[in-house]
Structure 1
């Protein structure tokens, strides 16, 4: 099967083709998802170098564990979870004295006016416990649903909701929003 034919296959068919010995099939999956997974890692780690390492590590893990993909969920969901976990692992390896990377949440149309807000929000997010921060980032910045966040993090939907609620309450207090 040539590269063009492979690109026409579904994710599940590509996984099957790879399992059957077509090494190029995983390359098609990589090309299909590398940009999206880069965005996920960058939003999770808030640092380009950490994100690059997390994506590389995550794709290697997916490559090695492709047999664990059962097809119960979409391949993209399975891969997303691996990349998020890889990103979180990278963050956990940071030395306590290292500064957390910053979120780029500015609206490019009014960047100057939002500089203070961006700094305040970044500072407030940094003060949240990791679980609350990650849930809020995935839900609010990544645009995932509660169910998707729960699946990505391997926690219950109720846990995601409570972490987000506690995180929003803490952010509101830290930002003095009424």
Structure 2
């Protein structure tokens, strides 16, 4: 006598929502969380890499974040989308790494020196040069400003969505972005001759509307 077919795991069913996958993980499905990771790891990696500017640090931060999400899945209350919840964990993992390094804020005269030094670099492929210079410039910002700019200007998040990820008011996100852009302006002003700075994030990819 043939046994009845096994019920497919939620991870194997089409069009299963992130929330359903997380609920399945909480109730013991061994495949559900792996599906969540597959769906979102590239996006989480992009956020971590742009925030930290170092592939090894970004990889460690993403790993830490997913381990944390795996363990704390039961704390998810559905008040925000699963993607927002994951982004929040990844950003916090990045900020923790940045704070442990105790990055010293850069003085205005150092920003000017950096701008002059970068302007004298030999020409490279425009896209690669813009990407490298933006990454280097972001490292000069305080952690909170960098995180806000990565989400809003580079990943294409709305101010409101970024505020949910960072768990701060929308006005705080706007203020951090404004201060960050003001600090970046003297460093990246020479790029205006080659690329519209309002679209610098497009040169780095992964920007969504």
Structures share fold, TM-score greater than 0.5: yes
Which ranges in structure 1 are unaligned for 5 or more consecutive residues?
98-109
Q: Give the match for residue 19 of structure 1.
A: 26
Deviation at 1:158, TM superposition (A): 0.3
Q: Does 1:142 align with 2:158?
A: no
Q: Give the match for residue 64 of structure 1.
A: 71
Q: What TM-score comes out, normalization by structure 2 length?
A: 0.68
Q: Does 1:36 align with 2:43?
A: yes
Structure whose alpha-carbon radius of gyration is higher: 2
Residue aligned with 2:29, SS = coil
Match of residue 52, structure 2, among 45, 50, 73: 45
The CA distance in 1 between the partners of 2:154 and 2:177, in whole Å, is: 12
Tell me, yes or no, if the aligned pair for 1:6 and 1:14 is still in contact at 8 Å.
no
Deviation at 1:112, TM superposition (A): 2.4
1:20–1:173 CA distance, 2 compared to 1 (3 A): same
Residue aligned with 1:127, SS = coil
1:43–1:118 CA distance, 2 compared to 1 (3 A): closer
Q: Does 1:83 align with 2:90?
A: yes
Match of residue 162, structure 1, among 165, 175, 199: 175
Deviation at 1:13, TM superposition (A): 1.4
The CA distance in 2 between the partners of 1:26 and 1:123, in whole Å, is: 34
Q: What TM-score comes out, normalization by structure 1 length?
A: 0.79
The CA distance in 2 between the partners of 1:175 and 1:5, in whole Å, is: 45
Q: CA RMSD in A?
A: 2.7
Deviation at 1:166, TM superposition (A): 1.7
Which ranges in structure 2 are unaligned for 5 or more consecutive residues?
1-6, 105-122, 193-209
The CA distance in 1 between the partners of 2:129 and 2:83, in whole Å, is: 36
The CA distance in 1 between the partners of 2:188 and 2:11, in whole Å, is: 53
Deviation at 1:115, TM superposition (A): 6.3
Tell me, yes or no, if the aligned pair for 2:144 and 2:176 is still in contact at 8 Å.
yes
